[in-house]
Structure 1
Amino acid sequence: MGHHFGGRNNHFWTLLHRSGSTDRRLREKVARLRPRIVCLLGKDVYRAYAGLPRGREVAWELQASPPVPGVRTFVMPNPSARSTVPFEERLRLFRVLQEAALKPPDPTGISSRRKLSSHDLSPGLHRP
């Protein structure tokens, strides 16, 4: 199928579309609810959410320019065991996401582009 959650028996996209939670509506909902951070699974999902062209380069990380000002946006690979992203890299990203989620929001609404390393993480996050 070529899309995340695109399997024949997976109704993710149909449910998302019919619920009215796609693209612009999702951004509107995020702007209304104002969570500290939004985590999107997949670069194509993020591109659609952010209104970016399909070929635009996107990194697995906290995005420097969130589509909803003041709401940090993190792009994460699919956690499925079938993911092509190695397990250790996905684990590292989950740890970075956890650290970002625990940080208080930036009152200016501007996200930092600096990538967090394992040295930035709390000692408790290094437990196996």
Structure 2
Amino acid sequence: MSDVALLPVLPDLLEPGLSLIFCGINPGMRAASTGHHFEGRSNRFWRVLHLAGFTPEQIRPEDDHTLLRYRYGLTTVVPRATARAAELSRSEIELAGEAFQRKIEQYAPRYVAFLGKMAFSAISGASNLEWGRQATPFGGAHAWVLPNPSGLNRGFSLDALVAAYREARIAVASAP
């Protein structure tokens, strides 16, 4: 049996009626092994979330459950942990998409924010996605595509990530 098969599944941090659910592609190895979202040393998620105004302080990965206090949740499209999202095949993401859509419908957030274009493109069939709010809802929620904050994604500076996430926060805060 491989070490990957022994990794626990990263638990979702969800409850019904959240303002927004952040959706990663899949858990990283460190996140799966510790049971905490965005645990990787180089992942910028928690810093970006704070700097964009989603949280009044920077949450530590081991305190990820406190995000629910602010009416935000965390999940992934594909539950299988990998060192890099590129290890997932498009078909694996597509297959996970139906169950993921049912999850979003069940929890009924106002918004779902995909962290990166890869998963949303695969499960929606959309190509040439733009960053930001999408014209088509997903699972009954307004869909948003944000840059992936992974330390492996250096195509976006910290300032660019914060600006993109701030735009989403403002939209969520101003929605009825």
Flag whether TM exceeds 0.5 (same fold): yes
Aligned partner (choices 35, 38, 48) of residue 109 of structure 2 = 35
Quick one: higher RCO (CA 8 Å, sep 6+), 1 or 2?
Answer: 2
| Letter of the 1:24 counterpart | E
State the aligned residue count. Answer: 94
Task: Give the fraction of aligned pairs with identical amino acids, expressed as a percent.
Answer: 22
**1:5, distance to aligned residue in structure 2 (A):** 6.3
Q: Which residue of 2 aligns with 1:59?
A: 130
Contact 1:43 1:75 in 2 (8 A): yes
Q: Show CA shifts across 1:22-64 (max 9, x none).
A: 20111111112110110111111111232x15xx101110111
Q: Which residue of 2 aligns with 1:80?
A: 150
What TM-score results when the alignment is normalised by the length of structure 2? 0.45
- In the alignment, structure 2 segments of 5+ residues that lack a partner are 1-24, 33-75, 83-87, 89-94
SS of 2:143's partner is strand
Q: Distance in 1 between matches of 2:108 and 2:157?
A: 32
Q: Which residue of 2 aligns with 1:112?
A: none
Q: Which residue of 1 aligns with 2:166?
A: 95
Contact 1:62 1:74 in 2 (8 A): yes
Q: Distance in 2 between matches of 1:6 and 1:31?
A: 21
| Letter of the 1:103 counterpart | S
Q: Which residue of 2 aligns with 1:124?
A: none
User: Could you say which structure has the higher strand fraction?
Assistant: 2
SS of 1:22's partner is helix
Q: Distance in 1 between matches of 2:158 and 2:81?
A: 28
- In the alignment, structure 1 segments of 5+ residues that lack a partner are 106-128
**1:104, distance to aligned residue in structure 2 (A):** 2.5
